[in-house]
A and B are shown apart, each in its own frame.
Chain A
Amino acid sequence: MLFSSIPFLYYFLPIVLVLYFLVPFRFKNLVLLVSSLFFYFYGEPIYVLLMLVSCLSAYVHGLLIDKFRGTKWAKVWMASSVVTSVLLLGFFKYSDFFIANINALFRSDLALLGIALPIGISFYTFQTLSYTIDVYRGDAKVQKSFIRLATYVALFPQLIAGPIVRYTTVEEDLTERKHSIDKFGEGVTRFTLGLGKKVLIANVLYEFCETFRASDDKSVVFYWLYAIAFSLHIYFDFSGYSDMAIGLGKVFGFRFLENFDYPYISKSVAEFWRRWHMSLGTWFRDYVYIPLGGNRVPKGRWLFNTLVVWLLTGFWHGAAWNFIVWGLYFAVFLVLEKFFLKKFFEKIPRVFSHIYVLLAVVISFVIFNAADMTQAISDIGGMFGVLEIPLWSKETAYYLSSYGLLFALSIFGATPLLKNAVLKLKEKKGACVVVDVLEPIVIVALLLVITACLVNGSFNPFLYFRF
């Protein structure tokens, strides 16, 4: 089920909210678990069993690790947990990728399995992995209640598109959490803003991208506009989803960590990744990069660690070569920054480092969004005038004038300027009252326009479902 859908907003959510706030605290997790399972079942009727198996595996492995703590068996059960999770993820997400590559490499004719990717498997697998590893490390206490652990894994606000919530983040909330009007109000405000980012901005930007793909009148400038539109789209799509997840979490008394922090204002690729999909970046840092030795190793080893982490980051996003190249592409920039670029950009005006990051990121998302590497190369070729197309075309002019305001608003919205302005206003007493009065009005206006867009049946899928 999509957050940005009529069934979620006007059927599922009202029922769940009423049930949740009516039952005593001891049943609240159960209500959340059952509703989360229904939420998942609605989109993936069969794969809900797979998710339950994943929960059960994490639960049993957690108990076993705890039981054998201090013995070599604890490590064995932790390894078993990791292998089980990785195998499940590998089978359901990567089987056909490996089969296709084996066929290409050895000219064999192995049949593809054609398995549909279970929605959100990459997210909940990483959550179960973090749980068992944290229990093994002693960073988290074992969860003896299956309902609590399954609630953590299946919690519908973050189930299908993150953020990747660590068990340690919500460990206390699962047992005891407070609900209040303030949390509810702040939560639904965040949820509605996220919904607005998704429906009113991201979807329309994607419309532009679709229009570009369908156009027979492409130009160099059109290619650039497409690359910028997709980069903005994916930011508003994914950060909007994270806002909705964080907001809903707050409504139900959970505190999820932030997942985005205005990544497009970064001055280096390393900073970009500290601001973009933060829950994934920190996951790989804590569970892959640091266990490999992090940066306190010789240069050669550090290079290896970096390549492994970014290869896995790319591969996590999708079972295709363009995602792997996308991950390694960032690794190259991170290596260059460490040894050369960082010092270079420190010596020249800051604006150049911004331009450098934006260029690197925009091109990366062209690779990311391509159907395959052939299309990625062709798209990048189009941007740099390699294809036999004009610099400018009639359609380019038309679509730029049509979507111009959206581009301007999106670029403005991708910076913290608006947020800072609102915060400054709030510091002034009179203006603060105006902002407080306007906020509910804005929420209602947003809900009305969002509903209008959903009723019109405009383009609506979440991109991150495929991960």
Chain B
Amino acid sequence: MKIKNLVVTVVFSLFITVFFFLCILHEPLAVSESERRPLAQMPEITFDGVISGDTISDFEDYTVDQFPMRDSFRKLYTWYRFNIMQLKDTNDLAIEDGYIAKVETGLSEHSVEHAIGKFQFIYENYLKDNGGKTYFAVVPDKNYFFSEEYGYISMDYDRMMEMLRAGLSEVEFIELFDTLKLSDYYKTDTHWSQDKIGAVADRIAEALGCADRLSGEYTVSELYPFYGVYYGQAALDLPADTIRYLTNETLNACTVFDYETGKTSSIYDLAKFDSKEPYDIFLSGTKALLRIDNPNATTDKELVVFRDSFGSSLTPLLAEGYSSIYIVDIRYVMSSMLGNFIDFAGKDTLFLYSTLVLNDSLSLK
């Protein structure tokens, strides 16, 4: 008998035995904090489930999701891929100088067409003859700048803009790409930082004609540490971000009415900082239909903003310019229902969508 074989036998047997017991004894977790998702649970064993293969498939998911030290293994996986295999991205995420970016490559023309169809429906039904103006602004995702800076690939943004301009020829486009740079985005999250988007707000306000009503003076407050959505997905130990949010007298006085719950709150919901989505401090996160009311308004003009999550931090910066801003997220409310809640007459409308949502727009209703 070779000593080496004895050692290999002992080591291998110990390895799988220890993990066998850890798997059996490991207390199942309900959610993964780092991945921000519920974890698969032990499936109920039924005859039909076993025969159809569903139980077994669910069991496979359970064993993977509930594997002991899952987060440590995910870190090892990412480390191995980046450092040993020298792959440039893992789980579609790339990391450079602390910036984590999703390497979006393919442009989904089908998705862009779907989005255009939804926006056209809204325009035709609510905006065409409402006496207001309609604007469209596209927020470039972080990879637009990241790919340029670090030599990664990206989707065909020119083609996307070309399609949007052709499909929405009646609306006025506001160019935002040149108002941003990589450092305007959080390092660990997909979003932009509110204190860095003054130029974006100015460009939009100018186009909307409300620039003279914005003071542009804010107090910056900080919340730390902020681990963005990419942090957990990347599964590497990287420095946290800081959320900086802007306040002034008017913003503090503004109220936010939630049509879903019927409750009124403020622009920043600081309690959300301790939730799974700290970025939700801006307008309380994902909401179908909100209305910001500005009691200090010097105008009776009202604005409707169709938006995704980027709009949560941008829209408050327009609040000084209007008496009310209606904020609609058609991922959570049917477009055809909007007439029941909003009187579009005389209101200007802004569509503010990120390239990420436009390239994956099937959730737009």
B50 to chain A, nearest CB (A): 6
Tell whether, in the assembled complex, residue A6 and residue B64 are in contact, meaning their CB atoms are under 8 Å apart. Answer: yes
CB distance from A16 to the nearest CB of B (A): 11
> Bound state CA distance, A6 and B73, in angstroms?
13
Q: Which of B80-88, B209-217, B277-285, B289-297 contacts A (4 or more CB under 8 A)?
A: B80-88
Residue of B nearest to A15 (CB): B20
CA distance A453 to B50 in the complex (A): 27
Chain A interface: which size bin? Answer: 35 or more
Q: Confirm or deny: B3 has a beta carbon within 8 angstroms of a beta carbon on chain A.
A: yes
Tell yes or no: B137 within 8 A of A by CB.
no
Among B9, B53, B89, B91, the residue within 8 A (CB) of A184 is: B9
Q: When the two chains form the complex, which single residue of B15, B20, B59 contacts A447, counting CB atoms closer than 8 Å?
A: B15
Q: Does B152 contact A (CB under 8 A)?
A: yes
Greatest chain B CB density within 10 A among A45, A395, A455 is at: A455
Among B23, B59, B76, B88, contact of A449 (Cβ-Cβ < 8 Å): B76
Contacts of A215 in B (CB 8 A): 105-106
A7 touches B19 (CB 8 A): no
> Which of the residues A5, A11, A457 comes within 8 Å of B23, measured between beta carbons?
A11
**How far in angstroms is the closest Cβ of chain B from A160?**
15
- Closest-CB distance, B87 to chain A (whole angstroms): 5
CB atoms of A182 and B2 under 8 A apart: yes
A458 CB contacts on chain B under 8 angstroms: 77
* Chain B residue nearest in CB terms to A394: B153
CB distance from B43 to the nearest CB of A (A): 12
Interface residue? A10 (CB, 8 A): yes
Residue A180 interfacial (CB < 8 Å):
yes
Q: In the complex the two chains form, is B73's CB within 8 Å of A452's CB?
A: yes
Task: Find residues 183-235 in chain A having any chain B CB closer than 8 Å to their own CB.
Answer: 184-186, 188-189, 192, 204, 214-217
Q: Are B8 and A443 in contact (CB under 8 A)?
A: yes
A58 to B351, CA, bound (A): 70
Known: A185-B5, A185-B6, A395-B105. A452 touches B85 (CB 8 A): no
Chain B positions 86 through 123: 1 when the CB is less than 8 Å from some CB of chain A, otherwise 0: 11110100000000000001110000000000000000
Asked if A180 and B1 sit within 8 Å, CB to CB, the answer is yes
Q: Is the CB of B73 within 8 A of A451?
A: yes
B238 to chain A, nearest CB (A): 18
Bound state CA distance, A443 and B16, in angstroms? 12
> In the complex, what distance in Å separates the CA atom of A448 from the CA atom of B53?
29
Q: Is the CB–CB distance between A457 and B64 below 8 Å? A: yes
Give the complex CA separation of A129 and B24 in angstroms: 41
What residues of chain A lie closer than 8 Å to B107, measured between beta carbons? 216
Which residues of A (1-53) have their CB < 8 Å from a CB of B? 5-7, 9-11, 13-15, 17, 42-43, 45-46
- Residues in A with CB closer than 8 Å to B76 are 448-449, 452
Contacts of B6 in A (CB 8 A): 181, 185
Give A119 Cβ to nearest chain B Cβ, in Å.
11
Interface residue A402 (Cβ < 8 Å from any Cβ of B): yes
Q: How far is the CA of A301 from the CA of B232 in the complex (A)?
A: 65
CB of B17, distance to nearest CB on chain A (Å): 6
Complex: how many Å from CA A450 to CA B153? 28
Task: Check A344 for interface membership: any CB of B closer than 8 A.
Answer: no
A5-B63, A17-B13, A188-B12 given; 16 more Cβ-contact pairs under 8 Å: A6-B60, A7-B63, A10-B16, A10-B23, A10-B63, A14-B16, A14-B17, A45-B56, A182-B1, A184-B9, A204-B87, A215-B105, A216-B107, A455-B73, A455-B74, A455-B77
| 11 contacting pairs across A/B (C-beta < 8 A) | A9-B19, A10-B23, A181-B1, A182-B5, A185-B8, A188-B8, A216-B105, A394-B153, A402-B87, A449-B77, A456-B91
What 6 A-B pairs come out closest when comparing CB atoms? A185-B5, A402-B88, A452-B77, A452-B76, A185-B8, A436-B4
